[in-house]
Amino acid sequence: MLRNNEVRRYLFISIAILIISTVLISFISTVAAVIVFVSTSLIITVFLWMTNWRYKQIEKLSLYLRQISAGDTSLDVRDNREGELSILKNDIYKMTLMLSEQREDLKKDKQKLTDAISDISHQLKTPLTSMTVMADLLSDETMDDDKRLEFTHNIRKQLERMDWLVSSLLKLSKMDAGTVQFAKERVIVSGLVDEVIAPLEIPIELKDIDFQKLGSKDVTFLGDYNWTKEALINIIKNAIEHTPEGERITINFDENALYTEIIIQDTGKGIAKQDLPYIFKRFYKGGNATDGSVGIGLAMAHSIITNQQGDIEVASEEGKGTMFTIKFYKRVI
């Protein structure tokens, strides 16, 4: 405490005032001089005691902060007394909680990044291995032309799959980083659905799927046309993959005072009950997933819808089909 220049200066001035005032008052009255000397000495003693107490409390806080820096966030320094030190303790405790939460979030983000890298490596390893094998086989000069064309076609398909995967991951990473600026434009749902279905007409026809579009041409919502189109394409592609030949896919859209609703329903295989909570999780593949499934399309659709403050829900029953419900709200509070 006495190493502090301010305390030493205060003590020196206080003692000087004590001596001077005692000497001056002694000329008037000896009793008064004794009273002044004793009372002033008590004041100085109380001040030194309080200062020493405050220093000990500050030392405890310094030790507490060092423990926090070392990673121990379990200590509780709060107290319910009034005063500046109590306020400081409570503020430090709040800061400790915030740092603890941030540390946990960083751990989770680190784990997510590790899992994502692992998943991406796994997804890229399979087609790369397949292409390496086929490329080695193509170097065989005795291979017949039909087989060579088959391997070339397979390599092209694997390259397209890798291109789609990398492109999707880049889009997802942009959304995760918050760098995607979603437009706020009036979107006519009927026209949007027509554009979504256009590139999917061939697989729909090949599987003889009965596709139905139900809804008024006046139904609209406020959102990003292109990104929403991509989300719907991923959902409908998923529906086509899981709908057997001759079955039905229906897109129903409507609008009310609160929200615009788009319902995509199929009569396909359905999703197992245990898979439903994870259906929008990145790289998750349920029990009914197709062989070429990566588990990223629905995750992207979910990110696109929710980043526009919309909602997307799924309801399904094995053997009876799946229904995705998308809602774009008129006003987000």
Cα distance between residue 222 and residue 328, in whole Å: 8
Q: Select from 272, 270, 282 the least CA-distant residue to 122.
A: 282
- Domains of the chain (ranges plus CATH)? 5-100 (no CATH), 112-177 (1.10.287.130), 185-329 (3.30.565.10)
pTM, to two decimals: 0.61
List for the chain the helix, strand, coil content (%; round to 5). Answer: 60, 15, 25
Q: Select from 62, 27, 22, 55 the least CA-distant residue to 40.
A: 22
The continuous run of DSSP H or E covering 202 comes out as helix 201-206
Torsion on CA atoms 163, 166, 172, 176, rounded to nearest 10 = -160
pLDDT at position 222 is: 93
DSSP β-bridge partners for residue 327: 261, 311
pLDDT at position 76 is: 64
**Rounded average pLDDT per 10-residue block, the chain, 333 residues:** 68 79 79 81 81 77 74 63 68 76 77 68 74 82 82 82 78 77 92 91 90 93 92 91 90 94 92 87 69 74 92 90 93 58
